[in-house]
Amino acid sequence: MPQEISVSYQAIKSKIYRLIDAHVVGEKNEAEVQESIRRWWELIHPADRPIAHKYLQLVLERSTLALESVGEGLAEVTEHEAVRPPEASKVVGRVVKHSSLSSPPI
């Protein structure tokens, strides 16, 4: 019996944040995070993928904005150049690009 995967905004946000945390604390490297996302995406029913894609993109965009805000806030406090994750925009682009291959655009 196939596993049911929730595609609610909250479920997707939780999945992404768990993966980010696992990467930040060193439990998973970049390749392992990417493989986790690939396996998770394959478990989502094809009919549910457009909404999952929409919510995933929303979570990634909001997360990127939050990281940029942290960097800008730090820059204001330290009066140095912002500490920003150099790959944040690329990660969003890669995930959106990858998920677009197997689901119709939103």
What does the block give as tokens for 61?
Answer: 């965009």
Distance between CA atoms of residues 90 and 34, nearest Å: 13
What are the residues whose beta carbons fall under 8 Å from the beta carbon of 98, sequence distance 6 or more?
A: 37, 38, 41
Tokens describing residue 33 = 């995070």
Torsional sign, CA 30, 70, 86, 14: positive
In the chain, what are the domain boundaries?
Answer: 9-101
Q: What is the pLDDT along the chain (106 residues), one digit of tens a residue?
A: 467 789 999 999 999 999 999 999 999 999 999 999 999 999 999 999 999 999 999 999 999 999 999 999 998 888 755 455 556 556 555 555 555 545 444 4
Q: Residue 77: what pLDDT?
A: 86
